[in-house]
A = this chain, B = another copy of it.
Amino acid sequence: MKQNKLFFNVGIKNTKQRNLVYDILHQSSQPITAEEIFLKYQELDEAISLSTIYRILDLFSTKGLIIKTYINENTKACFIINHHDHKHYLICKNCKKVVEIDGCPFTTYEKELEEKTSFTIQGHKLELFGLCGGCKDSLL
């Protein structure tokens, strides 16, 4: 099997399953669930065990290749390629569309808060929700 630079760099083995799961995540513009990956995998006429997908997603997460997130008050975990840029999402409550927001509205706020609370702030999660342009119109 052709060496995978990405996997080699983080010190994990190169397998057919990992390559394909990575490709699927890479081609997805939105966060996707383990089961969605499973289904896309099958569409490519390949077989994989769902537990292998979970193990791969876990590994990718700890190696920092992907981000695990619970979007949309959901019970299912979602995964997305880690582009190493800080992103937030806008989620349509009606059609569940997820739109990336660029930029982050916090710059000074976290500093203020650190002083007020004596916490050291390491990160945050911001999710905005509402109705997208399309749904707004169709719900008239």
- Which residues in A have some Cβ–Cβ distance to B below 8 Å? 68-70, 73, 75, 90, 92-93, 99, 101, 105-106, 109-110, 113, 117-133, 136
Contact = CB atoms under 8 A, between A and B. Distances in A.
Contacts of A121: 90, 128-130
Contact of A129 (B68, B75, B123): B123
Given A70-B70, A128-B110, A133 B119 contact: yes
A128 B122 CA distance: 8
A12 to B, nearest CB: 23
Copies of this chain in its oligomeric complex:
2
B127 A124 contact: yes
Nearest to A134: B118
A66 to B, nearest CB: 14
A136 B90 CA distance: 33
